[in-house]
A and B are shown apart, each in its own frame.
Chain A
Amino acid sequence: MLENSFEKFRELVLRDLALQETLREPTRDDALIEMVVRIGVERGFGFTADEVRDAMRTSRRAWLERWI
């Protein structure tokens, strides 16, 4: 299950500069989430759009709550 997780995909992206270039193109959250899920499927990952959306929400919350 863990191999399919979005966390593993994120690690892959952070090691792959070419993939990062591609994923920088979307300017809207929904467009990026759609692209992430599509590329994830192409590379054998099985996470859903909701999982990516949750990760984005968590990331935003961690920044907003950095003083707490």
Chain B
Amino acid sequence: MDLTTPTAEQLEDWIPIRLYWAGTEPMVDWCWLGDLRFTDPFFDQTVARAFRRPFSLLFRHQTSLDVLEQMGKGVEPPAGFIFHASRCGSTLVSQMLAAVESNIVISEAPPIDFVLRSTADGKAIADEQRVQWLRWLIGVLGRSRGRAVRSYIKFDSWHVLHLPLLRRAFPDVPWIFIYREPLEILVSHQQQPGSQMVPGTLDPRPFGIDPSGLREMPSDEYGARILAGIFEAAGIHARSDGGVLINYTQLPEAVWSLFPQIFRGNHEGDDIERMQNAARFHAKNPSLNFEPDSAQKREQAGDRLAQLARQWLQVPYESLEVLRQGQSRNGASGGCGADGLS
């Protein structure tokens, strides 16, 4: 393993693609990205594209986290944070933002998940340490590259439970939470389960699930309760911390009509046209056209899934909707009335 310490200048076109433990020391795996932009639906897909260049695959810096600290100094904080419930249009949003050249969109980057969830050899990492690492890592991931100067970080869906820690690292970055009618989300996961819906991927305790009962719990109930934990966390933090709630029904228009006020930025030139063009395509498979599928998803839901949605998700969903309508009346989403955009 190469442990030479490169300077910030030597890492100008490199990005941290992976964090890992070498014994008890956290390490950074760097990849030369060159002029590639983060235009793929997910962070790892852009890294995979970089690896099609044989140099990027063969020559990778391995450094301590100190290098992140050096590089993260003086970097502008991100323009915005995007939290979401999964399967709710958040990838559509990130793809629309990525269509604008001045934006950098980091979408579900595994190194961020590492900082939020990893333990050091089974021992907890102090929150203060995680806050520092988050500042350095997110600063470096979102730093200006060429014409791209405004960064947006789209987190994994379960990261909304870590929002207080992220706010300690970046107290002034505006954030949104995107969600959707929960039965439609459950149907999507039933067809193709997200990793968070599979028992064993996440620690179930923060979601109010007792690990000792996991063996007896049907997997669809587990998924519904994980989703309920995400909805509930979003509601709690939006109330206390001023995050803006966005329903799937407000997409894609909210991206060009509400985001400039929420994220304090203006569209320029043909930005809106570029975003509208990106919205025409299926976000996770850009070779397909995007088509709204709410009605189809509800038709596909069986009685069992509908019952789980009522039992675990109806109350937190309705609570978010009430809060969102209040934000709309109070102008929290930029004062332009989110409801009118459905």
Contacts and interface: CB of A to CB of B under 8 A. Distances in A.
A32 to B, nearest CB: 4
A57 to B, nearest CB: 10
B59 interface: yes
Interface in A19-47: 20, 23-24, 26-29, 31-33, 36
Contacts of B60: 59
Contact of B59 (A10, A31, A33): A10
Nearest to B59: A13
Contacts of B326: none
B58 A59 contact: yes
B196 to A, nearest CB: 14
B53 A24 contact: yes
A15 B5 CA distance: 9
A61 B34 CA distance: 22
Interface string A54-68: 011001100100100
B59 A56 contact: no
Interface size class of A (residues with CB under 8 A): 20 to 34
A66 B4 contact: no
Given A24-B32, A32-B55, A7 B110 contact: no
A52 B18 contact: no
Contact of B53 (A10, A15, A27, A60): A27
Interface in B8-33: 10, 18, 20, 32
A32 B18 contact: no
Contacts of A26: 54-55
A14 B6 contact: yes
Nearest to A31: B54
A17 B10 contact: yes
A36 B58 CA distance: 10
B61 interface: yes
A2 to B, nearest CB: 13
A11 interface: yes
A14 B57 contact: no
Nearest to B51: A63
A66 B59 contact: no
Interface in B52-106: 53-55, 57-61
A28 B47 CA distance: 17
Nearest to B60: A59
Contacts of A13: 59
Nearest to A25: B55
Nearest to B110: A66
A38 B20 CA distance: 33
B120 to A, nearest CB: 18
A29 B52 CA distance: 9
Interface in B90-146: 110
A24 B112 CA distance: 28
Contacts of B32: 20, 24
Nearest to B17: A63
A29 B6 CA distance: 25
A52 B61 contact: no
Contacts of A59: 57-58, 60
A5 to B, nearest CB: 12
B2 A14 contact: yes
Contact of B18 (A20, A56, A66): A66
Among all A-B residue pairs, the 5 with the closest Cβ atoms: A32-B54, A24-B55, A29-B54, A11-B2, A56-B58
8 contacts: A7-B2, A10-B58, A10-B59, A11-B4, A23-B59, A59-B58, A60-B57, A66-B110
Given A15-B4, A56-B57, 14 more contacts: A7-B2, A14-B2, A14-B59, A15-B6, A20-B55, A23-B59, A27-B53, A29-B54, A32-B54, A59-B58, A59-B60, A63-B51, A66-B18, A66-B110
